[in-house]
Amino acid sequence: MAGESGARSADLLSEAANQDLLALCEALVSRTPTSALSGFVTEQLLDPDGARVLGCILQLAESEDGARSWWQYASGAGDKAASYCLYLHHLSLGENDAAAWWYEQTQTDSCPALSTPTKRSAPGQKESQGSWTIPETVRSVDTSTPTVLRVLRQPLHRSGRRRSEVVDALMQYLPTAVAVGYVHDEPDVDLPLPGPDFAEQVGILVAAASSISFGDKPRRREGGGTHIRRRSTNDDSGEHQRTDEGAESAVRGGR
């Protein structure tokens, strides 16, 4: 009986950690302005803030290996929120030793995430300084974070709200886009790297999805066609127009 009770407790802990991780990923991604999201990508490696949110999007898209790799990259650059994501990730898998190690990297002096918070982190504790609006308790990863996560995950169950068009579009595109790094691996970088057109494609997807999210209706041409607003570029070729139109069609098709 004691063994069964222990197993049930472990299962409950893993499930709660998984729900907390999803809630944290939703919060980090949904609080990211589209302007920042379209600007964080480079042709190869992201900055730590971009790596953290890319990991969250991959986690929401059920691409856990890629998510873990990008969180490790961000954590190595000092991003404590990424370390907390890794803590919850390993806890959800029942890997308690690994979870405890990543929890230590958050530089907090509290109990594990699913216990009752009793003490706040020291005032003046150094925080991750990103360009995005991250909930304060998540950014500093203090001892109130578990409570915040439990609050955040309630709307996921009750309201049935849909994710933003931007998040949905990126969840469809990113898992495949970053997987190419596993095929064309670079010897010095143990990361799922995106392809050469990654930055451009993300910018196009974000622009198309943002247009839909904010209710911008496509302007109708006199001939009945649809004019898609495009990024300013010196190359106004038909290829760019087809790419933009295809992106918006993909966004609408995934709704």
- φ, ψ (nearest 5 deg) of residue 215: 75, 20
CA distance 120 to 76: 24
**Residue ranges in the chain modelled with pLDDT below 70:** 1-6, 32-46, 107-164, 179-190, 192-196, 199, 209-210, 212-255
pLDDT attached to residue 101: 92
* Cβ contacts of 253 within 8 Å, gap of 6 or more: none
Q: What is the pLDDT of residues 85-123, one digit of tens each?
A: 999 999 999 999 999 999 888 865 443 443 333 333 333
Q: What is the pLDDT of residue 102?
A: 92
Round to whole Å and give the CA distance between 137 and 153: 15
Residue 39 pLDDT: 53
- How far the first Cα of the chain sits from its last, in Å, is 47
Sign of CA dihedral 207, 209, 213, 219: positive
Summary count for the chain: helices (H), strands (E): 11, 2
Amino acid at 176: T
Residue spans of the domains in the chain: they are 2-158, 165-253
- Longest Cα–Cα distance of the chain, Å, equals 75
pLDDT value of residue 145: 57
